[in-house]
Amino acid sequence: MPLKDLLIGLGIIAIWAFNIIVIKVGIEDLPPLLVTVLRFMLVAVLVVPFTRISRRQLPWILLLAVTFGGLHFPLLFLGLQQSEAGTGALLVQMGTPFATLLAAIFLKEKLGSRRIVGLILAFGGVVVLAGGPSLPPPASTALLLASAFFWAVSTMIIKLAPPIPPLTMTGWISMFAIPLVSLGSWLFEDDQWQAIHQAGWAGWGAVIYTALMSSIAAYGLWYRLLQKHPVSRVVPLTLLMPVFAVILGVWLLGDPLGFNKVAGGVMVIAGLAVINIRFRRQRKPSPV
């Protein structure tokens, strides 16, 4: 990969890692489900008027609006309330092992010994994290793992769905998810209008950053990289996201960096690497 594209890829990972920090700060100023609704509204306004979907694509978009927009994102925002940024990022990365298991069960993809080792490492890393003080309360841990699970479910749906341009998918999922998450905010949160009027730079900054930088800019650049380079060269960069998030959490939020977080994090990332990266022996050049 050329240096320019590599730097773009690292920039995207940094945007996504900083997104965790921004969410953490933002949901201290605004209720988490309300932040999610406002984010979806901004994305929909900026994307939907300039994109179109077909009748064939519509049922899949509606399904993804439930699993991805209505479950993954709200559960992520709710789970991060009581979680350290780095630990939350590591737990959400469990979407990859979940997706691997779902693909084996429903798409009949073979696991193989390599992926089984990766799964054991990743889930073992969560067990190590659970033995340390950095793991969030059980409810938050369950919410973050559920968020990762519904990310994996959404991945399976995208594999089965007809081709949909990524930005189009992002905009229309956001639009159809607005009433779902708004209902959740109405049922489980209070004083939304007061919170909006009293919100400061942290709350509104989180809405704008998550919508513009994370959803639109980062994903747009990411899919452009996927179009230019083999998936095997681009996807492994995502392994750096929780690493960046842990570093940013320690640096900006003062999160502790204990043994369990380091050891468990290394195991999770190693497991993801084994699942995602296919290691091949290089052939020795034939003598001239």
Which residues have CB under 8 Å from 36's CB, separation 6+? Answer: 73, 74, 77, 181, 185
User: What's the pLDDT score for residue 74?
Assistant: 96
Question: Angle at CA 10, nearest 5°, toward 8 and 13?
Answer: 110
Q: Both tokens of residue 3?
A: 């240096």
Enter the tokens of residue 70. 């209505």
Encode the chain (288 residues) as per-residue pLDDT tens digits. 688 888 998 999 999 999 999 999 999 999 999 999 999 999 999 999 999 999 999 999 999 999 999 999 999 999 999 888 888 888 888 888 898 888 888 878 888 888 888 899 889 988 888 766 777 888 999 999 999 999 999 988 988 889 888 899 999 999 999 999 999 999 999 999 999 999 899 999 999 999 999 989 988 888 788 778 776 677 778 778 888 888 898 899 988 888 888 888 899 888 888 887 765 544 433 333
Angle among Cα 7, 9, 10 to the nearest 5 degrees reads 65
Report CA 229 to chain centroid distance, whole Å: 21
Q: Tokens 């965790």 — which residue?
A: 20
Residue 254 three-state SS:
coil
| Consecutive H or E run containing 198 | helix 192-198
Are the C-beta atoms of 60 and 157 separated by less than 8 Å?
yes
Torsion sign (Cα): 231, 212, 160, 269: positive
Query: Cβ-count burial of 90 within 10 angstroms (0-12 exposed, 13-18 middle, 19+ buried)?
Result: buried
How confident is the model at residue 194, as a pLDDT?
Answer: 93
The three-state secondary structure class of 195 is helix
What b/e sequence results for 56-86 when a residue is b if at least 16 CB atoms lie within 10 Å of its CB, and e otherwise?
ebeebbebbbbbbbbbbbbbbbbbbbebbbb
> What pLDDT is attached to residue 280?
52
Q: Tell me what pLDDT residue 226 has.
A: 74
Q: Is residue 240 within 8 Å of 10, Cβ to Cβ?
A: yes
Phi, psi of 53 (to 5 degrees): -125, 155
Cβ-based neighbour number of residue 103 at 10 Å: 18
**Do 219 and 166 meet the contact criterion of CB atoms below 8 Å apart?**
yes
The CA distance from 26 to 30, in Å, is: 6
Q: Which two tokens stand for residue 196?
A: 């909006």
Cβ pair 160, 67 in contact under 8 A: no
Check residue 108 and give its pLDDT.
81
pLDDT at 104: 86
Give one DSSP letter per residue of 212-230, joined into a string: IIIIIIIHHHHHHHHHHS-
Give the single-character DSSP code of 48.
G
* Structure-token pair, residue 137: 């309360």
